[in-house]
Amino acid sequence: MKRSKALSLAVVLLGLPSSASANAAELDLATKNCLDAISNADNRFEGRDAAMPYADKIVAIATEELAVGNIDGVLKRLNEDGATCVSYVRQINDVLKFYPELGDFYTTTAAQAQLELARKAVLEERKKEMELQAAARIAEQDAKQKALEIEVNARVFSACAQLANRDPLKAFTNELCVRSFKANGLPE
């Protein structure tokens, strides 16, 4: 009872979701128990059989955490000991290895290929995001430039219209005013 209360308090103080801390504790315990079962066995087969439930628990936790996208959290706790234990129990340590970030067993080459594909997908997504941001910035700059041009044209036309009212000869012989009148029409 006291331990549960202390764990809940630690979870609140650390700001961790209780399921993540519970999974982390379960993962640590399963890894320790798996290694203990292997090292305390009289032979390889006995060790494998004794460690199998713990290895299954390790895989279940890693798969659950992967499903909710918690690669940076509990999955980082699945260290080399946990992956080695699972691989040993599954009797595939020379051929396949458990990769928690992929949530499955792979050969080293296949895992590297899968990780590279995932890395490329992330980079491609970042590139698309950056391109969208750049396009948005360009569109915003273009809109500001267009608004500025409209304001300048309006002010030039207004100034030329005032000049045309005071001194039509100067207004109609001024190149800037003539272009403004051609673009916007004659002043009233």
Candidate ranges 10-19, 60-69, 99-108, 135-144; pick with highest mean pLDDT: 135-144
- Say which residue, 84 or 132, is predicted with more confidence: 132
- pLDDT tens per residue across span 135-185: 999 999 999 999 999 999 999 999 999 999 999 999 999 999 999 999 999
Whether the Cβ atoms of residue 58 and residue 34 lie closer than 8 Å to each other: yes
pLDDT for position 81: 66
> Whose structure tokens read 């044209």?
153
User: Please, what is the Cα angle at 109 between 55 and 75, to 5 degrees?
Assistant: 40
pLDDT for position 22: 66
Residue 178: partners with Cβ closer than 8 Å, 6 or more residues away:
172
Residue 107: partners with Cβ closer than 8 Å, 6 or more residues away:
95, 96, 97
In this predicted structure, the answer to whether residue 2 has a pLDDT above a threshold of 50 is no
Where are the domains positioned within the chain?
Answer: 2-106, 126-184
Per-residue confidence band for 129, with pLDDT thresholds at 50, 70 and 90: very high
- pLDDT tens per residue across span 73-105: 555 566 666 776 777 776 654 566 667 777 766
